[in-house]
Amino acid sequence: MADTTRITVTLPNDQVAELRKITDNISGYVAEAVARQLRHQLLGADLLRHQEEHGKFTDEELSEARAGIFGTASGGSASAA
């Protein structure tokens, strides 16, 4: 089990009510959400740093990245107008 620190977090009542419908482990749920947000922010910083060093991503690079993340879709939605 990972080391933990107990903290107090204040949330709106409606959010707590919805969380209780979803899980009986609110601490675990919040920990996963925080980890996901931290990964998102770190990835964003890495992508910005990469573009500063190598220039903006091309449309082809972005398309390849989307295909790698979401899978290749035939008839890509980016070309639909």
**Count of beta carbons in the 10 Å neighbourhood of residue 51:** 11
CB 16 within 8 A of CB 27: no
Residue 72 lies in a domain: no
Q: Can you say whether the dihedral through the CA atoms of 3, 32, 46, 44 is positive or negative?
A: negative
CA 8 – CA 47 distance, rounded (Å): 33
**Per-position pLDDT tens, the chain of length 81:** 579 999 999 999 999 999 999 999 999 999 999 999 999 999 999 999 999 999 999 999 999 999 998 987 544 444 443
Identify the residue whose tokens are 């969380």: 19
In a domain, 46, yes or no: yes
pTM score: 0.66
Identify whether 74 is part of a domain: no
Domain count, the chain: 1
Residue 76 domain-assigned (yes or no): no
Q: Is residue 73 part of a domain?
A: no
Residue 51 counted as domain residue: yes
Q: With contact defined as beta carbons under 8 Å apart, do 60 and 78 qualify?
A: no
Q: Range of 63's domain?
A: 13-67
